[in-house]
């Protein structure tokens, strides 16, 4: 099977298996809340972040409130998500810059988003895809690992993986590729014990035989 046909088959199977509607699992009501939740989710589970954000959004309901936050009180509220010193500092700096430079509105372009404290391409692409519906590929640990297993990239640097995927995936699959692969990585192509026998992609996965031999 040629690469293009293989990619089409992978996409068809993922859609059949996980559906086309794959909302982000971080609870939010607007762009600012998703940005805060995504910054907090670095090295932390979405479930843990979702436990912290209701109280956080109640105390700091918008960009302005966060820009004025007392850092010690903020650190205390987000303590359980880890790296709370850096995350608290970034949230306040980020809010101040959005207020000063972007009129209080979370920006849309990758350049503006990545100019914010604590925001790299991954976080920027979460916002672009889920808030502004701009085709964008979020490369996290699951996307990196599984895209490589499926033979769609040889790279390990997230930015290079992103560019490789942009070349082979049709744009209308960019946003859901991340959410589908997170679900796939948690349930079937699990890092330490991939379930190749039950995998809906086993007929198009070049890594299957490597896993079978382990």
Residues near ligand SF4 (CB under 6 A) are 149, 188-189, 194-196, 199, 201-202, 205, 207-208, 211
∠123-128-52 over CA atoms, to 5°? 45
In the complex, minimum distance from the CB of residue 20 to ligand SF4, in angstroms, rounded to a whole number: 20
Q: Is 140 a catalytic residue?
A: yes
Task: Using the minimum distance from each CB to ligand SF4, give the nearer residue, 108 or 208.
Answer: 208
Q: Cα 153 from chain centroid? A: 18
CB of 16 to ligand SF4, least distance (A): 15
Least CB distance to ligand SF4 at residue 189 (A): 3
Is residue 112 annotated as part of the catalytic site, yes or no? Answer: no
* Nearest to ligand SF4 of 137, 201 (CB atom): 201
| CA–CA gap between residue 199 and residue 114 (Å, rounded) | 36
- Indicate the residue among 82 and 206 with the shorter CB distance to ligand SF4: 206
Q: Answer yes or no: are the C-beta atoms of 40 and 53 closer than 8 Å.
A: yes
Angstrom distance (rounded) from CA 5 to CA 11:
10
If the CB atoms of residues 4 and 193 are measured against ligand SF4, the closer one turns out to be 193
Q: Return the ∠ at Cα 114 (arms to 135 and 25), rounded to 5°.
A: 55
Given the residues 87, 122, 144, 149, the one annotated as active site: 122
What are the angstrom distances between the C-alpha of 10 and each of 33, 64, 105, 180, 187?
33, 44, 37, 11, 16
**Strands, DSSP E only, in 108-192?**
none
Cβ–Cβ < 8 Å for 41, 140: no
Contact 152, 7 (CB under 8 A): yes
CB of 196 to ligand SF4, least distance (A): 3
C-beta of 26 vs 152, nearer to ligand SF4: 152
Q: Tell me how far apart the terminal alpha carbons of the chain are, to the nearest angstrom.
A: 25
CB of 118: closest distance to ligand SF4 in angstroms?
32
Catalytic residue of the set 15, 27, 62, 140: 140
Task: Name the residues annotated as catalytic.
Answer: 122, 140
């Amino acid at each position: 099977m040629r690469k293009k046909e293989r990619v089409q088959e992978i996409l068809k199977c993922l859609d059949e298996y996980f559906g086309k509607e794959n909302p982000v699992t971080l609870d939010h009501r607007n762009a600012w809340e998703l940005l805060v939740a995504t910054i907090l989710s670095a090295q932390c589970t979405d479930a843990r972040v979702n436990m912290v954000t209701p109280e956080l959004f109640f105390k700091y309901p918008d960009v302005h409130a966060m820009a004025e936050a007392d850092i010690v009180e903020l650190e205390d509220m987000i303590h359980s998500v880890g790296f709370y010193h850096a995350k608290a500092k970034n949230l306040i700096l980020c809010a101040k810059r959005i207020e000063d430079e972007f009129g209080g509105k979370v920006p849309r372009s990758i350049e503006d988003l990545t100019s914010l404290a604590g925001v790299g391409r991954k976080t920027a692409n979460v916002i672009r895809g889920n808030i502004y519906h701009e085709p964008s590929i979020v490369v996290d640990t699951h996307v990196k690992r599984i895209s490589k297993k499926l033979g769609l990239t040889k790279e390990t640097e997230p930015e290079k993986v992103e560019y490789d995927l942009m070349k082979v995936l049709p744009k209308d699959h960019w946003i859901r590729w991340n959410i589908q692969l997170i679900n796939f990585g948690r349930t079937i192509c699990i890092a330490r014990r991939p379930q190749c026998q039950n995998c809906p992609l086993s007929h198009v996965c070049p890594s299957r035989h490597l896993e079978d031999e382990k």
